[in-house]
Amino acid sequence: MTLPPLPVLAAHAAGWRDAPWPDGLEHHARRALLDWFAATLPGARRQPATLLAAALAGERGPGQALCYVDGQRGAPRHAALLNGIASHTVEFDDIHRDSGLHPGSPTVAAVLALAQARGADMDALLRAMAAGYEVGGRVALAVQPSHYRMWHTTATVGTIAAAVAGAVLLGCDAARIGHAMALAATMTGGLQQAFRGEGMSKPMHAGRAAEAGLLAAQAAAAGVTGAPDVLDGAAGFAAATSDSTGQWGRALEGLGARFVIGEMTFKNHGCCGHIFPALDGLLALRARHLFAPDDVVQVHIAGYRATAEICDRPRVHTEQEARFSLQYCVAALLHHGAVRLDAFAPERLRDPVLHGFMPRVSVSLAPELAEAYPRRRAARLRLVLRDGTVLEHEQPTRKGDPEDPLTDAELDAKFHELADPVLGVPAARALRRLIRQGTWLPGGA
């Protein structure tokens, strides 16, 4: 008889607390923590995190959890909410490619705040992170790709990942970790439509997942119980948010042998990850053919479903829209060489040269690429140059994916690019050294 997925995953999560680290995996966990800070620190200076920090200042509560948005300490759930929002704002946060989950934003925001509040050490933090990533990635695998048609996986499954990490750090046994998962599953939410147009909802998804995940973990630790079949039941999480009660055989394959936190994608561009194959393909074409933006008459991108449905935005007005516009990001890359934070600065968003180029970029769905998603994220490019030359290229992977990962040096450079302007160079270097090698907790009181 096949065991239901919840107790299997909960038992696996409980084992992270004191089992030996699998070969090299602690290093991967430290990379994930460094990348979380890289994404979070610039987001902590931007709306909506800054707006919410001011609005909720009176609800901070007592505690030692550090809110990176305003630099104040308070209750873990308060810090988790605001830090989670900040971490998902500038679109530089990590991705589990195969499941479509951004686990770092909610998981690290939740468990780091709890670890700071409890005075935990670095090893406890990293182990809890690894457990949250593992369970979150595997639950997401069970419901993809159909889940992503309507739901934002980081908002939904991210809540479960945060709950698991929090429960592990709180010392819960397998049974209570299972209750944390069950409680979190019924608190999930986050709609695709929230980021298909204007508005600031998307970063709030990650913050709310971190906060709700901590609530579930604290409730389970206090003895509150959840429904054990809430993941795979007839009216459970998978059935409600995907086209089945869950592909659990696929999700549990290799449990204990392959690890989500060791297979992360760390972003190499500051925009929606569904645009990355097109940008990497353009860089490859330009390296071979050395064309200038004015030489390009037409760019056509054929991609998988999310690229075509989410990122085909021929007109943009806001930073949020631009980060999800293939047309804008292609124009920015060709004119400025990269899509980093400055690509979305106000003067760039108003640049008539970029807006004038955007109508040259078109997007379509390639059914065979859609079939391979999410494990393969590819794009086909066709450029027509002014002299009539036609350039074609298929980009099979993304820089930063497990097949072509950021090296440690590249990840360190990304961290300093994003963290130095916020912390200053000496403080950023000290934080990087602590994350890479230290035994005590970042932001510990």
What Å distances lie between residue 17 and 14, 83, 108, 138, CA to CA? 6, 24, 16, 19
**Structure confidence at residue 3 (pLDDT):** 78
Give the span between the Cα atoms of 17 and 437, in whole angstroms.
20
Which pLDDT tens digit goes with each residue over 148-161?
999 999 999 999 99
Residues 6+ apart with CB under 8 A from 5: 139, 142, 231, 232, 246, 248, 251, 252
Residue 371 has pLDDT above 90, yes or no: no
Torsion angles phi and psi, residue 258, rounded to 5? -115, 145
Residue 437 has pLDDT above 80, yes or no: yes
Residue 2 has pLDDT above 80, yes or no: no
Residue 370 has pLDDT above 90, yes or no: no
Which pLDDT tens digit goes with each residue over 285-313?
999 998 999 999 999 999 999 999 999 99
Residues 6+ apart with CB under 8 A from 237: 139, 143, 156, 185, 186, 188, 230, 231, 246
Would you state the structure tokens that stand for residue 236, as one six-digit string? 């459970």
Q: What is the mean pLDDT of the chain?
A: 96
**Structure confidence at residue 376 (pLDDT):** 87
Give the bridge partners for 382, in sequence order: 300, 392
Give the span between the Cα atoms of 22 and 85, in whole angstroms.
31
State the average pLDDT over residues 301-326. Answer: 94
Its pTM stands at 0.96
Give the CA count within 13 Å in the CB-facing half-sphere of 137: 28
Which pLDDT tens digit goes with each residue over 21-46?
999 999 999 999 999 999 999 999 99
Of the chain, the end-to-end C-alpha distance in Å amounts to 49
Which pLDDT tens digit goes with each residue over 194-234?
988 788 999 999 999 999 999 999 999 999 999 999 999 99
Give the span between the Cα atoms of 129 and 351, in whole angstroms.
41
Handedness of CA 392, 396, 399, 405 (dihedral sign): negative
Q: Which of 12-21, 359-368, 370-379 has the weakest average pLDDT?
A: 370-379
Residue 9 has pLDDT above 90, yes or no: yes
**Structure confidence at residue 196 (pLDDT):** 85
Residue 1 has pLDDT above 60, yes or no: no
Q: What is the 3-state secondary structure (H, E, C) of 65-114?
A: EECCCCCCEECHHHHHHHHHHHHCCCCCCCEECCCCECCHHHHHHHHHHH
State the average pLDDT over residues 56-71. Answer: 97
**Rg of the chain on CA atoms, in Å:** 21
State the average pLDDT over residues 61-65. Answer: 96
Give the span between the Cα atoms of 119 and 134, in whole angstroms.
24
Q: Which residues of 66-78 are buried (b: 16+ CB within 10 A; e: fewer)?
A: bbbbbeebbbbbb
Residue tagged 């912390």 (tokens) = 423
State the average pLDDT over residues 9-25. Answer: 95
Instruction: Report the length, in residues, of the chain.
Output: 445
State the average pLDDT over residues 89-105. Answer: 96
User: Between 445 and 238, where is the model more confident?
Assistant: 238
Give the helix ranges, DSSP H, for 170-263: 174-185, 201-221, 237-241, 248-252
- Band of the pLDDT at 84, cuts 50, 70, 90? very high
Residues 6+ apart with CB under 8 A from 214: 76, 77, 80, 110, 113, 114, 162, 163, 166
Angle at 99 between CA 323 and CA 315, to 5 degrees: 20
Torsion angles phi and psi, residue 416, rounded to 5? -70, -35
State the average pLDDT over residues 90-110. Answer: 97
Label residue 248 exposed, middle or buried (CB < 10 Å: 0-12, 13-18, 19+).
buried
Give the span between the Cα atoms of 280 and 260, in whole angstroms.
24
